[in-house]
Structure 1
């Protein structure tokens, strides 16, 4: 269940952050509400994840996956550009998450 909880947390955080961008400084009610709910769900499921995965590993995966997903959403949904340095950096983040998942022995408590 830990990976399901972490996935739900990541997706909720990405939804919340995307809605925050659309809220235009919390001036639009619906995106503002989605932001609050998204972050509430994200932190709740992250807290469940931390019962089974070390905080450093869970947070690295959570934040890394969130960064990558938000960069993709920003590019396609919000029309934000990614330069070569951004793409290379995102590639390193993906590599780091893969390395943690494949090679780390510190995933569980």
Structure 2
């Protein structure tokens, strides 16, 4: 259940960050409300995942790393941002770091 909550927290954070870009500097009310709701939901879900005994360092690293990688890919796929070989390498390092954290004994 903790891993499901963490996955939902990551999804909510990614949606909120995408809405942040679409909010045009928080000037579009609808997208601004989506940003606020997404981040509040994300932190609430992350808090519940931690309450269920996920290691804090592992959970936060996965939450932040997976969110960062997802946002980089969304930016390239839908927002016209460039995806250079160096950026791809960075995303692969993030994914590798998450895998290593899981193999190192996260619950």
Q: TM-score range by the shorter chain?
A: over 0.9
Alignment of 1:26-65 (within 5 A): 26-51=26-51, 52-65=53-66
Q: Which runs of 4 or more aligned residues in structure 1 lie more than 3 Å from their structure 2 counterparts after TM superposition?
A: none
Cα distance in 2 between the residues matched to 1:64 and 1:4: 16
CA RMSD of aligned residues (A): 0.8
State the partner residue of 1:94: 95
Contiguous gaps of at least 5 residues in structure 1: none
Shift of 1:84: 1.4
TM-score of the two chains, using structure 2 as the length reference: 0.95
Partner of 2:8: 8
The aligned residue for residue 22 of structure 1 is 22
Q: Give the number of equivalent residue pairs.
A: 106
- What TM-score do the two structures reach when normalised by structure 1? 0.93
